[in-house]
């Protein structure tokens, strides 16, 4: 079983420290949620885990499959089995969803074996149809340019389709609910739930408990001031929905 272990992680952006010694372990088969106010470092954590060059790690370790991956580039982390669903996916006009996914799959295969000629077009089409059926997506979606003219819900569904196709061991969903109406949120959540299983660990980053009505975490963590200050089960998210963050701030200030 693969685990993502974050140990005393400290991260700065443009000289300002954002993460201040964060600790968290996510195992395959587990669903974790991180909640917290704006500016507390949630997206910084997501981008740092994926290896974004704009985030400078000043301390700590990110251990995946028993190895510190801090020296790995983003594509190397992806090939190792980590996936990030972006809060704001970018558009790539001229590149269809299908071509993008086939290129990503072949890139992974060739990295593992330079002699690999890549997945055949018939095999790819069969696999893609199966994944889209699992996610209840119209097959015509595969022929559209990636995120070009997509609604917010369509962009997030395209991210989940990428996750289904690349089959990561750890998936990070950075505010996947951002900009979604209730119907789109339900559809995207159903896609995530369809992929859940013993081989996938999920980290859901969100502001709102409403997403957790659909994606059910076993573990909920509250993040403030660059660290995790409170952890618990699903009831913790319900308490936040009812009481806000003031009680957490008061408790944290007392401890600090």
* Cα 68 to Cα 45: distance, rounded to the nearest angstrom: 16
Q: How many domains does the chain have?
A: 1
Q: Is residue 101 a part of any domain in this protein? A: no
User: How confident is the model over 117-154, as pLDDT tens digits?
Assistant: 999 999 999 999 999 988 888 999 999 999 999 988 88
Tokens representing residue 100 in the block: 């993008």
Q: How open is the CA angle 249-253-256, to the nearest 5 degrees?
A: 135
CATH code, 56: 3.40.50.300
Q: Do 217 and 204 contact (CB within 8 A), yes or no?
A: yes
Report how far residue 214's alpha carbon sits from residue 191's, in angstroms, rounded to the nearest whole number: 10
Look at residue 52 and tell me if it is in a domain. Answer: yes
Residue 77 lies in a domain: yes
pTM for this prediction: 0.90
Residue 20 falls inside a structural domain? yes
Interval 164-211: pLDDT, tens? 999 999 999 998 877 778 887 888 888 888 888 899 999 999 887 788
Alpha carbon distance 44, 39 (integer Å): 9
Task: Examine residue 100 and state whether it is found in any structural domain, yes or no.
Answer: no
| Residue 123 placed within a domain | no
- The answer to whether residue 245 is domain-embedded is yes
Residue 53 CA, distance from chain mean position: 17
Domain span at residue 229 reads: 3-89+151-255
């Amino acid at each position: 079983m693969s685990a993502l272990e974050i140990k005393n992680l400290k991260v700065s952006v443009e000289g300002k420290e954002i993460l201040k010694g964060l600790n968290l372990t996510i195992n395959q088969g587990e669903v974790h949620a991180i909640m917290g106010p704006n500016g507390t470092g949630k997206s910084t954590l997501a981008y740092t885990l994926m290896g974004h060059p704009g985030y400078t790690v000043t301390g700590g370790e990110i251990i995946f499959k028993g190895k510190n991956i801090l020296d790995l580039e983003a594509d190397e982390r992806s090939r190792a089995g980590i996936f990030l669903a972006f809060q704001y996916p970018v558009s790539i006009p001229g590149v269809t969803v299908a071509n993008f996914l086939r290129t990503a799959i072949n890139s992974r295969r060739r990295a593992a074996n330079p002699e690999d000629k890549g997945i055949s077009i018939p095999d790819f089409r069969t696999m893609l149809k199966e994944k889209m059926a699992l996610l209840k997506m119209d097959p015509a979606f595969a022929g559209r340019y990636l995120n070009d003219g997509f609604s917010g819900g369509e962009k997030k569904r395209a991210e989940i389709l990428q996750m289904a196709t690349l089959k990561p061991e750890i998936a990070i969903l950075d505010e996947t609910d951002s900009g979604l109406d209730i119907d789109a949120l339900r559809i995207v959540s159903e896609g995530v739930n369809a992929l859940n299983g013993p081989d996938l660990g999920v980290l859901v980053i969100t502001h709102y408990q409403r997403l957790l009505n659909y994606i059910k975490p076993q573990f909920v963590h509250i993040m403030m001031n660059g660290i995790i200050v409170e952890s618990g089960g699903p009831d913790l998210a319900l308490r936040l929905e009812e009481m806000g963050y003031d009680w957490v701030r008061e408790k944290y200030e007392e401890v600090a």
